[in-house]
Amino acid sequence: MQGDGAGVDPVGRHRYIAGMAADADPALPILPTLPILVVPEPLLKARARRVQPGDGALIRDLVPRMFATMYQAPGIGLAAPQVGVDLRLAVVDLMPGEKPAPLVLINPEILAVSEETATREEGCLSLPGQYADVTRPARVKLRYVDPEGAGHEIEAEGLFAACLQHEVDHLDGVLFVDHLSPLKRNMILRRLAKERRLKEAG
């Protein structure tokens, strides 16, 4: 999910993630970011495969790079298919109080959703510069596995709930525009295609 960029310090954040610790050493190397796939890339419309025990090495290598990419963008969530990796894996950080709070979601599953809905503006790093109001369940219960292999169940509301649903959607090949009316969706996709043509002509 796209962030608004307020108060973001990409370099400091990179170092934080490179060290995966609050007191990261400023001498740590800054990780290169990964290219983010943009619509209409087919992988963004595909259902990703579940992470298996044998994927450990890949995940350890990928997760810090996904965080670096997300913070650089800036975004508050990034799913593996958005960086070309067919895995049910996403990273999230809502930066509560401007402090990093990185969350790694492996094989996340939404267990329950509230009947009550909430509408908020969403954006997506795979639909750069495009925003629209999306209505989703206001609260969700989510199960996921962390990089150490421990299972967790969390309940979320507000922006956190929207972000979790947005990222789990990515693992099922669903984009925020798929929650809009066909008219609104086509308007956004046409605008994106036009902006890309202008950029390519550029």
Q: Does 124 bind Ni ion (CB under 5 A)?
A: yes
Active site residue 98: no
What 3-state class would DSSP assign to 74? coil
Query: Which of these ranges, 39-47, 108-116, 123-131, 185-193, lies near Ni ion under the rule CB under 5 A?
Result: 123-131
Q: Does 104 bind Ni ion (CB under 5 A)?
A: no
Residues 6+ apart with CB under 8 A from 162: 1, 118, 120, 122, 134, 136
Query: Which of these ranges, 8-16, 43-51, 54-62, 116-124, lies near Ni ion under the rule CB under 5 A?
Result: 116-124
Rounded distance between C-alpha atoms, residue 139 and residue 31, angstroms = 34
Token pair 């009316």 is found at: 181
Q: Which is nearer to Ni ion, 124 or 145 (CB)?
A: 124
- In the complex, minimum distance from the CB of residue 17 to Ni ion, in angstroms, rounded to a whole number: 19
From residue 116, give the alpha-carbon distance in Å to each of 42, 50, 67.
33, 29, 31
Question: In degrees, to the nearest 5, what angle opens at C-alpha 26 toward C-alphas 24 and 27?
Answer: 115
Q: Does 87 bind Ni ion (CB under 5 A)?
A: no
Residues 6+ apart with CB under 8 A from 54: none
Q: Which is nearer to Ni ion, 18 or 85 (CB)?
A: 85
Rounded distance between C-alpha atoms, residue 184 and residue 182, angstroms = 6
Query: Are 67 and 93 contacting, i.e. CB atoms less than 8 angstroms apart?
Result: yes
Q: Does 66 bind Ni ion (CB under 5 A)?
A: no
- Residues in contact with Ni ion, counted by CB under 5 A, come to a total of 1
Q: Which is nearer to Ni ion, 18 or 156 (CB)?
A: 156
Residues 6+ apart with CB under 8 A from 98: 7
Catalytic residue among 121, 167, 195, 200: 167
Q: Which is nearer to Ni ion, 92 or 124 (CB)?
A: 124
Q: Does 48 bind Ni ion (CB under 5 A)?
A: no
- In the complex, minimum distance from the CB of residue 129 to Ni ion, in angstroms, rounded to a whole number: 13
Q: Which residues lie near Ni ion (CB under 5 A)?
A: 124
| Residues acting as catalytic residues | 167
